[in-house]
Chain A
Amino acid sequence: MMKVQGKSPLSARARYTAAAVSALALLGSVPAAHAADPLQPDPELEAVTLSAPKPSWVFVERGFVVPGNSIYDTETGKMLGMVEASTLSDLSIDPAGKAYYVSESIWTKGWRGTRQDMITVYDSATLKLKTEIAIPGRILIGGRKFNFVIADEGKTAYVYNLDPASSVNVVDLAKGKFVKKIELPGCASLMPVTGVGFSALCSDGSLATVKTAAAKPEITRSAPFFSATNDPIFDNFGYDGAKQTAVFLTYTGQVYTAKLGATPTISEPFSIQAAAGVSPADTKPLDVHWYPGARQGLAYHLGTGHAFVLMHTGEYWTHKESGTELWELDVAAKKVVKRIPLEDPASAVAVTQEPNAKLILSGESGTLHILDAKTFEEKFKLEKSAGGVLRTLEP
């Protein structure tokens, strides 16, 4: 039998009214359901932890006034955390990846009271304080890569001190103890020398090498090879700990390479401007040239032996000016292979030591620029993230 759908006994208006009431009831039931199932309070969570430092990370010293070292991953452009540090401190990274070391000075009453100099040790996973190693002094300057360096595969630290006599404090990181102070008159900017101690640049234009093991440290000096007052070498230079080489750049753009050791050898210099096919610079007033400059004007990629140098145009004695171009220099070939104009003039440059290296530039605008070091394509533009010295992980 065929089922015949019968008409509803309700009128059309009544059906509409009933539908509207049902819909309202349904709507009313939504908040009612949520009220029965509120958001749960956040559980008490531990702070985020980090992996061991990666070659893609960059550590940005936040500048003269604002303390701390911000960590960014150049792969993602994200800030990962911050290594605590007081102003005018220096950061070094444990080559084993287990700790961050901060060479710093604090006082018992803020800036008053008793001065305390130390290497503060932070766990690399939690970024929490592990321990402090007291030292008898250190320079207050910041903004330099070579005032606090780690040697002997992480066992030794050298801390430069100026009070205002010049010396180096040797610290045994494995035992967590200050070992000795070595007077180093007229020299600064420390380069660890494997099996020897360290080398440093000197005011007489020489490279001093200090054998640290003996009870009375032995200091020898190379023949003077540069003018410390007329054409100084920038003290943020390139250093390759594995190959034991350094790349030095002077205010006029002369490039020296040094083979470090008990008796270091230093190459004849060449002009970075000549390597780019432009006129070499000099020290004469009114001569306008391309000059190297900025606060941290040279980044050295160890794998390729290429240096990235911040350059600007102007006269001599403009060595702190930010770079308006970045020059890629093949140091061994003595050839500038690329010149990249910078829209945001940069005061510091660093490069990650990866095969797919990234360049990090601190812009005058306060923006941190992260570029692919092969294509120079800008991957990330991080506002309010630039600052002082940039550090990357070096093998």
Chain B
Amino acid sequence: MKTFNPDAMGEKLLRRFAGGTSRRGILARLGLALVAAPVFPVLPVSRASAAKPDRSPEAKTTFARNAQSKDDTKCDYWRYCAIDGSLCSCCGGGLNRCPPGAEHSPVSWVGTCINPDDGRAYLIAYRDCCGKAYCNKCDCDGTDRETQLYVPQLNNDVIWCFGTTSMEYHCSTAVLVGTA
């Protein structure tokens, strides 16, 4: 009866490989690969850079086309593309800092916003400042790529004061996390 013999199979494979190759042949093929190497990047293969998004004005949302990078107390400041609520910049805090006495939520919803100065997309964490009454100044509602409750991390209506002493919503900051 014929049984499974891995040793015999391995020997058979190696003998077939040795019979069809030579040391000179291997060297020739390695040499060819070294010579051809500079050509690889231009071959039509999938590369990370090929997925670079289109940042032309035609590909930008209304918000991104009209965004500015000078005044963070205005709703059209570029980081606010998906913010909702009072801007902490108008409430005694800053773009990424809470007003006095308020507590920064450690978690947040996020947005992907385009900086008009360098054309790059950045991940923005909208971290609520909590523990004080609603500031109710500079109320903005950016809706770029903002979705519904079943994708909560992209929904800007949720009160994101999780992990803070108080869940009372005061205002929202826009913390730059990195390039998107």
A binding-site residues for B, Cβ under 8 Å: 64-65, 88, 105, 107, 111-112, 115, 139-141, 143-144, 147, 160, 162-164, 166, 186-189, 200-203, 228-229, 232-235, 285-286, 314-320
Give A295's nearest chain B residue, CB to CB: B157
Residues in A whose Cβ lies below 8 Å from that of B158: 139-141, 162, 164
Please tell me if the beta carbons of B141 and A285 are within 8 angstroms of each other in the complex: no
Give A318's nearest chain B residue, CB to CB: B143
Question: Nearest Cβ distance between residue A208 and chain B, in whole angstroms?
Answer: 9
Question: Chain A interface secondary structure, helix, strand, loop or mixed?
Answer: loop
Please tell me if the beta carbons of A201 and B157 are within 8 angstroms of each other in the complex: no
9 new A-B contacts at CB < 8 Å, known A285-B61, A315-B62, A317-B62: A88-B159, A139-B158, A141-B159, A162-B152, A164-B160, A203-B150, A228-B147, A235-B150, A314-B62
List the 7 closest A-B pairs by CB distance, nearest first. Answer: A111-B168, A140-B159, A188-B149, A235-B148, A188-B150, A232-B147, A203-B151
Question: Nearest Cβ distance between residue A356 and chain B, in whole angstroms?
Answer: 33
Answer yes or no: B146 CB below 8 A from chain A CBs.
yes
Residues in A whose Cβ lies below 8 Å from that of B65: 285
Report how far A139 CA is from B167 CA in the complex, Å: 11
Residues in B whose Cβ lies below 8 Å from that of A139: 149, 158
A65-B149 in contact given A111-B168, A140-B167 (Cβ < 8 Å): no
Residues in A whose Cβ lies below 8 Å from that of B131: 111
How many chain B residues touch A (CB < 8 A): the figure is 33
Residues in A whose Cβ lies below 8 Å from that of B160: 164
Please provide the chain B residues from 137 to 167 with a CB less than 8 Å away from any CB of chain A in the complex. 141, 143-152, 154, 157-162, 165-167
Please tell me if the beta carbons of A315 and B61 are within 8 angstroms of each other in the complex: yes
Partner of A164 from B63, B148, B157, B162 at Cβ < 8 Å: B162
Please provide the chain B residues from 29 to 43 with a CB less than 8 Å away from any CB of chain A in the complex. none
Give B157's nearest chain A residue, CB to CB: A141
Report how far A111 CA is from B166 CA in the complex, Å: 6
Report how far A390 CA is from B144 CA in the complex, Å: 26
Please tell me if the beta carbons of A228 and B144 are within 8 angstroms of each other in the complex: no
Give A231's nearest chain B residue, CB to CB: B147
> Could you pull out 18 A-B pairs where Cβ atoms are within 8 angstroms?
A64-B134, A111-B166, A112-B165, A112-B166, A140-B158, A140-B167, A141-B159, A143-B157, A144-B149, A164-B162, A188-B148, A232-B151, A233-B148, A235-B150, A314-B62, A318-B62, A320-B141, A320-B146
Report how far A187 CA is from B149 CA in the complex, Å: 8
Report how far A107 CA is from B59 CA in the complex, Å: 47
Report how far A202 CA is from B150 CA in the complex, Å: 5
The CB with the most chain A CB atoms within 10 A, among B134, B154, B157, B161, is that of B157
Report how far A200 CA is from B161 CA in the complex, Å: 24
Report how far A111 CA is from B165 CA in the complex, Å: 10
Report how far A214 CA is from B123 CA in the complex, Å: 42
Residues in A whose Cβ lies below 8 Å from that of B61: 285, 315-317
Answer yes or no: B107 CB below 8 A from chain A CBs.
yes
Please provide the chain B residues from 79 to 106 with a CB less than 8 Å away from any CB of chain A in the complex. none
Report how far A111 CA is from B169 CA in the complex, Å: 10
Report how far A203 CA is from B146 CA in the complex, Å: 13
Answer yes or no: B60 CB below 8 A from chain A CBs.
yes
Question: Nearest Cβ distance between residue B180 and chain A, in whole angstroms?
Answer: 14
Report how far A318 CA is from B146 CA in the complex, Å: 10
Give B133's nearest chain A residue, CB to CB: A111
Residues in B whose Cβ lies below 8 Å from that of A107: 166
Question: Nearest Cβ distance between residue B125 and chain A, in whole angstroms?
Answer: 13
The CB with the most chain A CB atoms within 10 A, among B63, B136, B160, B167, is that of B167
Please tell me if the beta carbons of B150 and A319 are within 8 angstroms of each other in the complex: no
Please tell me if the beta carbons of B60 and A188 are within 8 angstroms of each other in the complex: no
Report how far A140 CA is from B65 CA in the complex, Å: 33
Please tell me if the beta carbons of A229 and B134 are within 8 angstroms of each other in the complex: no
Report how far A189 CA is from B148 CA in the complex, Å: 9
Please tell me if the beta carbons of A229 and B152 are within 8 angstroms of each other in the complex: no
The CB with the most chain A CB atoms within 10 A, among B141, B143, B149, is that of B149
Residues in A whose Cβ lies below 8 Å from that of B71: none
Report how far A164 CA is from B148 CA in the complex, Å: 15
Answer yes or no: B118 CB below 8 A from chain A CBs.
no
Question: Nearest Cβ distance between residue A168 and chain B, in whole angstroms?
Answer: 13
Report how far A320 CA is from B85 CA in the complex, Å: 13
Please tell me if the beta carbons of B150 and A186 are within 8 angstroms of each other in the complex: yes
Report how far A65 CA is from B161 CA in the complex, Å: 16
